[in-house]
Structure 1
Amino acid sequence: MTSRRIFPSAAYMTPADDEPVRSVVVETPEAVVVAWYVQPGQRIPAHVHPAGQDTWTVLSGQGLYQTDAAGDTRPLKPGDIAIATPGSVHGVYNHGSEVLQFVSVVTPAAAGYERLPAAD
């Protein structure tokens, strides 16, 4: 386990043209902390963590946060905190003109991940 306790989020924000970038900041048995960099037009597909919670803190940009399997969304903006409790559907589409950057904390680390089937 690391003794390091402070991590500059900007050091983990990595741009990519193909798909959103997921950079693991730190992982312990209790949690996985991830920095996300989502370009305009990119999407993190709808998914669930069957055995854990995923909490997002938005640092910059904006997005449409998916809240259920039907595709309902709510706007996300800097300063927002979005919480997906165990089994709750979530994902995001960056519909803005700026990069969406946020930090995700999944607890526990063994929360699991299941992607929802893509809508036709």
Structure 2
Amino acid sequence: MVVRAVSVPTEPVSDPVPRKLGLWASERMQASAWRLSPGQDISARMHPQADGMFLILQGEGEFQAFDKQEPEAAGAYVPSAHYPLDAPPKRPLPEPSRSAVKPGMVCVAPAGLFYGLVNTGEEQLVAVAVTASDTSGTAWTVR
């Protein structure tokens, strides 16, 4: 068995898009670190057969759960080898439930629920995203 300890980078970045770093992937789960500059977001996503969560390490933001109404089907797609070249343009989403988040908080989304994360603070937001295995092989994202 391989045991792995990884440091999550927290130094500021000034990328025009959120920065994602893969930390772990197995048949049972995957984990990634995200760094979001002020105003950036992790697009709403849904895994049909996998729970997901964010652990907030640094910064302030807003966890969004689209638990009242699904986004329009035409705004959802299955990522492909050509991602993001074939991604549709961003579309308006229904109004989500919003929860303010700060360091030490965990945000959990059950399988089948669209969810996302937005940096609403004035500093970088650092979060670790963990997703359970999704045997459907499908991850829907709304841009």
TM-score (norm 1): 0.84
Corresponding residue for residue 56 of structure 1: 54
Instruction: Return the index of the structure with the highest Cα Rg.
Output: 2
Residue 40 in structure 1 maps to residue 38 in structure 2: yes
Corresponding residue for residue 22 of structure 2: 24
Structure 1, unaligned stretches of length 5 or more? none
| Pairwise CA distance, 1:71 | 2.4
| Pairwise CA distance, 1:15 | 2.8
Instruction: Show structure 1 runs of 4+ deviating over 6 A.
Output: none
Residue 101 in structure 1 maps to residue 126 in structure 2: yes
Structure 2, unaligned stretches of length 5 or more? 67-93
Match of 1:72 among 87, 94, 97: 97
CA separation in 1, counterparts of 2:35 and 2:120?
A: 14
Residue-pair matches, total: 115
| Pairwise CA distance, 1:7 | 1.2
**Structure 1 contact 21–36 (Cα < 8 Å) conserved:** yes
% identical aligned pairs:
24
TM-score (norm 2): 0.72
Residues 61, 14 of structure 1: alpha-carbon distance in 2 compared, 3 angstrom cutoff? closer
**Structure 1 contact 28–109 (Cα < 8 Å) conserved:** no
CA separation in 2, counterparts of 1:14 and 1:57?
A: 18
